[in-house]
Amino acid sequence: MLKENFAQTGALLKINLRRDGVKLLAWFLILVGLLVGYAYKIGTLFAGAKAIATLIATLRTPAMIAIMGYIPDQQPMTEAIIYSSEMVVFMSLFAGLASILISVPATRGAEEAGLVELLRAKAVGHQAFIAAAWLENFLFNGLLLLATGLGLQLAAMDGANSAGNWLLAALIAGSGLLFGSLGILAAQLTREARTATSYGLAALGLAYLLRMVLDVSHHQANWWSLLGWPEQAGVYYRNNGWPIVWQVLALVLVLVAAMALNAQRDLNGGLIAVRPGKTTSRFLRGPLTALVKSDQRSFWSWLLAAVVIGLMYGSIFNHIAAIITANPLMQQIVSAGKQQQAVTQLILNFLTLLSVVLAVLGTIRGQLLLNHLDLDAHKGYLELYFARPISRLRVFSSYLGWSLLNAWLVLAAGLAGLYWGSAAVMKQPLALKYFVRIFSGYFLPVAVLVIVSALLVAWAPRWRQLGLVYTGVGFVLMYFRSLLKLPTWVVQLVPYGWVRQVPLKTINGATVLSLIVISLVGIGLAYWGYRRRDQNFN
Amino acid sequence: MGATEVLTVNHLQKKFGKFTALKEINLTLHAGEVLGFIGPNGAGKSTTIRTILGMLRPTAGTVQVFGQDAWRDAVFIHQRLAYVPGDVYLWPNFTGGQTIDLLLKMSGQQHNAKTDDLIKKFALDPSKKNQTYSKGNRQKVALIVALSSDVALYIFDEPTSGLDPLNEIVFQQEISRLKAAGKAILLSSHILSEVEKTCDTIAIIRQGQIIEAGELAALQHLTRINVTVTSDQDLTALGQLPGVHQFQQQSGTTNFAVDTDQLQTVLQALAAKKLTAIQIAPPTLEDLFLRYYDQGNVKQAEVSTHA
């Protein structure tokens, strides 16, 4: 039985490790670098009692709790407690992201590529691919645990203790492994690796948003979210080990479910059978309509996800308003009308941060869609276009146009959700004009990033993922610029940085003009490159 | 011939970085002609075809279709051209019927009676989603689109590699129909017998070079027929006949290859013997290459003796 199901797992694991070597190393360095690097730097970044007091005050605002996670208020604060409150949710999120992006390609990705079929015909066990993918995840997160634990021990932050160091490392690695296993489970549900990845990411996003809503309202209840568990441990002050036990139990459950599903289903099949459809379509007539139709499901999922994310962020706005109105000092020194102004100001400050989240969401949607210009060539769809009287300009502009439109639609959907969510919970809702201001501020930076992807696809298709990396860098710079006290020129290295004051201020004409010029030049260069290069398929 | 040249490839060379995929390709195709383009896997057949289709830019040499430049005037050329790729990949969530209509529309063609006829002939279920089709069925979708298009030039890249023998016959019938209608056809394959059945002229490509080209009849000298006979009698004498090669005997079974022009003599000699079984197989691409290499060696040997 054991032999039958798990034969050759070791050999598969070796293949996986060799194939994913660079990816694993990159993620490992990023995660450990952030965790250990920040632990070493926190003392110098926030030197002196005043700086720390300001930081704590900032972290205790509902806006920051929503983003970073719960921070204890009954405890004497130490460097270590600040560190764990800031890092535990975010790094668990990153470890989960890395693990999903490792486990889905190793399971459904390999199956889609035909590798599983090839190898299952040999003496390879039925569950061996799952076992190998899981072990790969286990090794990755295990090493992450060791490196982080050791690094934290050596960093020796004020108020840190060994139990806390190792607990923090274990929680983050545990989250990684748990979400990696969920990725394996998702890979059993659907035929396409792309869909499996989005299921995994949806679970991750939902866990993050759920804990956000719970953290700002009833943080005791945040164990409803998988990403609330690491917070429940109270690293460095309570050092509660139970969340680790929950993680292990959940892991076993998920893994058993994945294996049971795998044992049930057909090779190359998902749980949902593919039904026959209509033999004609009035809609389909060229590259654009083909792209729209083949991308249909993603289209609706992204819009829906953006609205939900917006709604959840919007639903915590009343808590932000509450801290001003509940503050007796504020009530004494500021009149009621001024109070409202202060609330608006505070929320607008929070919105400068949220705008980036929604803009990044839209950008990623646009960039992923644009990358299809290259992916679809490799899949062979474009060969069918270019053998017909269809110009490269038509194909290029179809993909770029649809990508830009989608990036803007996702941004708009997120803002709509945010507006509805905030309007539902606030006594005096924020004016619509601020949301319009965010859109008009961010739609050009979003476009510039999508065009960066277009340039990569046109000139260096092998490096097309760099567009997404650039967006990721932009997100980190914008999100942590105030915490890390980044200089303006660094922030302005990414297009988002040019409009960082939105919606506190409106975007100025000169910035609009330069972004438009950059976009147009970028589109021209990208098309020029696309027209003159070879079309390589398969 | 005298017919108009539909396709002219002159000294085509294609490099990918440092790698030279095509060294020297020359092809000519006239209206009403079927050109068989054969060569082993990786010889450069698909690269040549994609250059003809304007998807790849020639490093050197010229490619002209209908007298126009294949790269620059691709859109214009493709109005009168139909193509079936070697590996057909289709949008997974469209049905076969939707895909056929879409591809026809993009070619400026209509779904017509011929399309329905072909769907029936190839026995394709057009209501199924592309992702559930096998390789052969995906190939059928592309074939149906190409064969129901009314254009001047048809290009097929290993079109029958996923088809069963029944569908292969349908395909060959369709090729004959197109040929009779005066269309130009470029048919790439690595199976010599497939090309022999339908083609007038062939071009053989190996490692990015055309090593033989011409009318099929003129190239027959290159081909040998494989004969296997079983007999109680001693056949050793056959090995001495002119034009007999690779003569092998093993427990009553004799294998050898005969030059096509010597077949008559050998068959007469065989007729005199008492045979229990005889099998005559057409030459394969492999045989042809072997023969080509033999010749190459002879030429080299001659050169060295002269020197």
Burial of A114 (0-12, 13-18, 19+ CB in 10 A): exposed
Residues B139 and B272 in one domain: no
Residues on chain A touching B76 (C-beta within 8 angstroms): 389
Residues on chain B touching A530 (C-beta within 8 angstroms): none
Helix spans in chain B (H): 45-52, 74-78, 96-106, 113-121, 135-147, 165-180, 192-198, 216-219, 263-271, 285-306
- For A312-331, the pLDDT digits (tens) are 888 888 777 776 666 666 56
- Asked whether residue B78 is assigned to any structural domain, the reply reads yes
Residues B99 and B147 in one domain: yes
What is the arithmetic mean of pLDDT over B37-41? 86
Residues B184 and B245 in one domain: no
* Contact between A277 and B95 using a beta-carbon 8 Å cutoff: yes
By CA distance, what is B52's nearest residue in A? A387
What is the arithmetic mean of pLDDT over B220-226? 71
CB-nearest to A388 from B93, B106, B132 is B106
- For A59-78, the pLDDT digits (tens) are 887 777 888 888 888 778 89
The residue among A38, A15, A277 whose CA lies nearest residue A155 is A38
- Asked whether residue B125 is assigned to any structural domain, the reply reads yes
- Asked whether residue B84 is assigned to any structural domain, the reply reads yes
Q: What is the CATH number of the domain that holds B254?
A: 3.30.70.120
Report the sign of the C-alpha dihedral through residues B70, B72, B76, B78, in that order: positive
- Asked whether residue B296 is assigned to any structural domain, the reply reads no
pLDDT at B2 over 70: no
Give the predicted TM-score (pTM) of the model.
0.80
Please tell me what DSSP assigns to residue A360.
H
* Contact between B125 and A276 using a beta-carbon 8 Å cutoff: yes
The residue among A355, A250, A369 whose CA lies nearest residue A301 is A369
* Contact between B129 and A380 using a beta-carbon 8 Å cutoff: no
A538 has a chain B CB within 8 A of its CB: yes
B104 has a chain A CB within 8 A of its CB: no
pLDDT at B307 over 50: no
Residues B184 and B260 in one domain: no
Tokens of A23: 């990816």
Tokens of A210: 């759920």
Residues B167 and B206 in one domain: yes
Tokens 């997120």 sit on residue: A414
* Contact between B79 and A389 using a beta-carbon 8 Å cutoff: yes
A191 has a chain B CB within 8 A of its CB: yes
By CA distance, what is B119's nearest residue in A? A279
Residues on chain B touching A278 (C-beta within 8 angstroms): 95, 97-98, 127
* Contact between A286 and B107 using a beta-carbon 8 Å cutoff: no
Residues whose CB is less than 8 angstroms from the CB of residue A144 and which lie 6 or more positions away in sequence, other chains included: A28, A31, A32, A95, A169, A172, A173, A176
What is the arithmetic mean of pLDDT over B278-306? 59
Domain count, chain B: 2
Please tell me what DSSP assigns to residue A105.
I
- Asked whether residue B161 is assigned to any structural domain, the reply reads yes
By CA distance, what is B77's nearest residue in A? A389
Chain B neighbours among A 364-393 (CB < 8 Å)? 379-381, 383-391
What is the reported pLDDT for B1? Answer: 43
B135 has a chain A CB within 8 A of its CB: no
Residues B40 and B74 in one domain: yes
Sequential pLDDT tens for chain A (538 residues): 667 788 888 889 999 999 898 889 989 998 999 899 889 888 887 777 877 887 888 788 777 788 888 888 877 889 999 999 989 998 999 999 999 999 999 999 888 888 888 888 887 888 899 999 999 999 999 999 999 999 999 998 989 999 999 999 999 999 999 999 999 999 999 888 888 988 999 999 999 989 988 988 888 888 899 999 999 999 999 999 999 999 999 999 999 999 999 988 888 777 767 788 888 888 998 999 999 998 888 898 899 989 988 988 888 887 777 766 666 665 666 666 777 787 788 888 888 888 999 999 999 999 999 999 998 998 889 999 999 999 999 999 999 999 999 999 999 999 999 999 898 888 888 899 999 999 999 999 999 999 999 999 999 998 988 999 999 899 888 887 877 778 889 989 999 999 988 888 888 899 999 999 999 999 999 999 999 998 876 5
Residues on chain A touching B41 (C-beta within 8 angstroms): none
Domain boundary among B220, B246, B274: B220
Residues B156 and B244 in one domain: no
Cross-sheet strand order for the sheet of B253-259: B244-250, B253-259, B224-231, B275-281
Going by DSSP bridges, is the β-strand pair B68-69/B81-84 parallel, antiparallel, or unpaired? unpaired
* Contact between A281 and B85 using a beta-carbon 8 Å cutoff: no
Residues on chain A touching B98 (C-beta within 8 angstroms): 277-281, 284
Residues B245 and B210 in one domain: no
* Contact between B98 and A278 using a beta-carbon 8 Å cutoff: yes
Residues on chain A touching B94 (C-beta within 8 angstroms): 281, 284, 290, 293-294
B131 has a chain A CB within 8 A of its CB: yes
* Contact between B105 and A284 using a beta-carbon 8 Å cutoff: yes
Residue B262 domain boundaries? 224-282
Residues on chain B touching A379 (C-beta within 8 angstroms): 89
Q: How close A107 comes to chain B (CA, Å)?
A: 19
By CA distance, what is B108's nearest residue in A? A389
Residues B269 and B211 in one domain: no
- Asked whether residue B71 is assigned to any structural domain, the reply reads yes
B41 has a chain A CB within 8 A of its CB: no
* Contact between B53 and A387 using a beta-carbon 8 Å cutoff: yes
- Asked whether residue B300 is assigned to any structural domain, the reply reads no
Residues B164 and B239 in one domain: no
Q: What is the CATH number of the domain that holds B172?
A: 3.40.50.300
Report the sign of the C-alpha dihedral through residues A273, A279, A285, A287, in that order: positive
Q: How close A463 comes to chain B (CA, Å)?
A: 17
Chains A and B: how many Cβ contacts under 8 Å? Answer: 116
What is the reported pLDDT for B180? Answer: 92
Collapsing DSSP states into helix, strand and coil, what is residue B69? strand
8 A C-beta contact, residue A171 and residue A232: no
Residues B190 and B248 in one domain: no
Residues B70 and B150 in one domain: yes
pLDDT at B246 over 70: yes
Residues on chain A touching B83 (C-beta within 8 angstroms): 387
Rg (CA), chain A: 24
What is the reported pLDDT for A318? Answer: 79
Tokens 């209206």 sit on residue: B31
Chain A neighbours among B 182-241 (CB < 8 Å)? none
What is the reported pLDDT for A326? Answer: 64
- Asked whether residue B210 is assigned to any structural domain, the reply reads yes
By CA distance, what is A295's nearest residue in B? B93
The residue among A185, A187, A183, A203 whose CA lies nearest residue A269 is A187
